[in-house]
Chain A
Amino acid sequence: MPDPILSLKKLDAFYGDFQALYGVDMEMAEGEVIAIIGANGAGKSTLLRSISGLMSNEIDQVNFLGKGIGAHRTDEIAALGLALVPEGRQLFPSLSVEENLLIGGRLNRKGPWDLQSVFDLFPVLKERRAYPSTALSGGQQQMVAIGRALMANPDLILFDEISLGLAPVTIKSIYDALPGIVGDGMSAIIVEQDISKALLVSDRVYCLMEGRVTLEGAADSISREAISHAYFGID
């Protein structure tokens, strides 16, 4: 394996006295798309919060581009080239659609994504560019959240439950857009409850249960039985 873009070494994470992650190890190569699946409360979102710096860890537990970032601030990690599409969209309500996108691009990192290319990917956003972000439908808000993360031209993009609470037809259109996003070499981690969607777009899968990795393997060779065992802990 060439130098990994991201590696986690015995990552523990805590909310106060509650331990949410137990010694999670993970490696991903540049350009890889990894899916993380698991039931509610398995630690998926905690994992993304730890990687993006929203939760602080020991410095060497999270390595990004060969650098220990476990104890770095969120904004420093973002500047290194890591973007998160947060669960529940979390757009800035007092900013317009276009301003939400522009603030995503404020780090001025070089790359293919700018206002124009995001509008090409999601044409509806161009029509709604001047709207307050709260005036959009859930699916359109999700497009803004994805566009906002892309505007940073990250090396690694994290998607947290991007299909949560959306209509199936909207989910399909967002997943149809994914290959166009990760196609040109951007690495991605996709946290998803919909296992079939996750397997379809990813190269490798990690399954989490109660804060531990219970399964890891290539998306196209992993068996449904193995997943349900790792997912629920039953045979």
Chain B
Amino acid sequence: MDWVNAIVQGVLLGGLYALFAAGLSLIFGVMRLVNIAHGDFIVLSAYLGLTVVTSTGMHPLLALIIVVPTMAAIGYFLQRGILNQTLGDDILPPLLVTFGLSVILQNLFLAGYSADPQKMDAGALETASVSVAGLSLGILPLLTFGIAIVVIASLQYMFFCTSLGRAFRAVSDNQDIAQLMGLNKRHMFGLAMGIALGVTAIAGILLGIRTSFDPTAGSARLIFGFEAVIIGGLGNLWGTLAGGIILGVAQTIGAKIDPGWQLLSGHIAFLIVLAIRPQGLFPRVSG
């Protein structure tokens, strides 16, 4: 029963990892940009949430109403103002610039919030649980997993069933020709980054309720996000959810064997998938 419990908890944890990864996957898919600062944007969302919660006293989940649009706006203007300038045939400039952003963000957190670990207080939600077939499932992990499914289903719908998604796919396929259709690629990239950071905001708030965070917490989240994307296969959102779940399960099983093995076993699972299927488990069928 303990093992079943470890697997179920791992699956639920995978939902959070999928939320870390969805934004990464989206911007890489649309504009081939690898955002090294992605983890720091997750932490930025958590700090923004913390600020909203402490200054207004509202529940952390309610703070989403403020943090999600704020992060989306930051994403749009960051893309239009800085990141668009780095995109081109060379893959190096966006890597360097987002790495620089990562350093800047971490130091801003340090200056603004100190190095002490912080956490958002979600009251009874944090410890509430339900018993299902002898397993005790936390309401917060269940909620996180449910939100991950809703977010990924919405992104999937946006991508494949709306004119905005059609435009994203066209720009991703061929930027020149997409512009002939009247699409301004700089605006489209801004929208993609806005949506990505909006999703990141959800991930950051849920992270900040679940666990404590500090100014350097971003890099581990970046790695989990990358691993989930690669395990699942680039460009496939449901694959990213599967990747997050595999990573989560590997970690909880590792922790079950020995608490010190939690992170390592996740990375080992990632390396095994990379060795056996370098293209990921469910790569995008075409393209």
Contacts and interface: CB of A to CB of B under 8 A. Distances in A.
Interface in B257-278: none
Contact of A92 (B177, B179, B182): B177
A230 B169 CA distance: 43
A31 interface: no
A93 B179 CA distance: 16
A79 B181 CA distance: 8
B170 interface: yes
A119 B248 CA distance: 49
A90 interface: yes
B170 A52 contact: no
A104 B173 contact: no
B169 A94 contact: yes
Interface string B151-164: 00000000000010
Most buried by B among A75, A78, A79, A94: A94
B180 A73 contact: no
A106 B167 contact: yes
Interface in B165-195: 166-167, 169-170, 172-174, 176-185
B286 interface: yes
B287 interface: yes
Contacts of B173: 92-95
Contact of A90 (B177, B184, B286): B177
Contacts of A78: 179-182
B182 A152 contact: yes
Contact of B287 (A52, A73, A94): A94
A134 B181 contact: no
Contacts of A94: 169, 172-173, 286-287
Contact of B174 (A52, A83, A92, A107): A92
B180 A95 contact: no
A73 B286 contact: no
A93 B286 contact: yes
B166 to A, nearest CB: 5
Of B176, B179, B180, chain A has the most CB atoms within 10 Å of the CB of B180
Interface residues of B, number: 20
Contacts of A73: 179, 184
B193 to A, nearest CB: 18
Nearest to B183: A75
Given A90-B174, A132-B286, A95 B169 contact: yes
A78 B181 CA distance: 6
A86 B163 CA distance: 22
A102 interface: yes
Contacts of A132: 286
Interface in A93-110: 93-95, 99, 102-104, 106-107
Contacts of A93: 173, 286-287
A84 interface: yes
A187 interface: no
A163 interface: no
Nearest to B169: A94
B116 to A, nearest CB: 47
B285 to A, nearest CB: 9
Contacts of A79: 182
Contacts of B185: 75
Interface string A127-166: 0000010100000000000001000100000000000000
B181 A103 contact: yes
Contacts of A102: 163, 166
Given A93-B287, A94-B286, A102-B166, A75 B172 contact: no
Interface in A59-77: 73-75
Given A73-B184, A78-B181, A92 B169 contact: yes
Cβ-closest 9 pairs across A and B: A74-B179, A78-B182, A92-B173, A107-B182, A75-B184, A94-B169, A92-B170, A75-B179, A90-B177
22 contacts: A54-B180, A74-B179, A75-B179, A78-B179, A78-B180, A84-B180, A86-B177, A90-B177, A92-B173, A92-B177, A93-B286, A94-B169, A95-B166, A95-B169, A95-B173, A99-B166, A99-B169, A103-B163, A106-B163, A106-B181, A107-B182, A134-B286
Given A92-B173, A103-B183, 19 more contacts: A54-B179, A74-B176, A75-B184, A75-B185, A78-B180, A79-B182, A84-B180, A90-B177, A94-B169, A94-B172, A102-B163, A103-B166, A103-B170, A103-B178, A103-B181, A106-B182, A106-B183, A107-B182, A132-B286
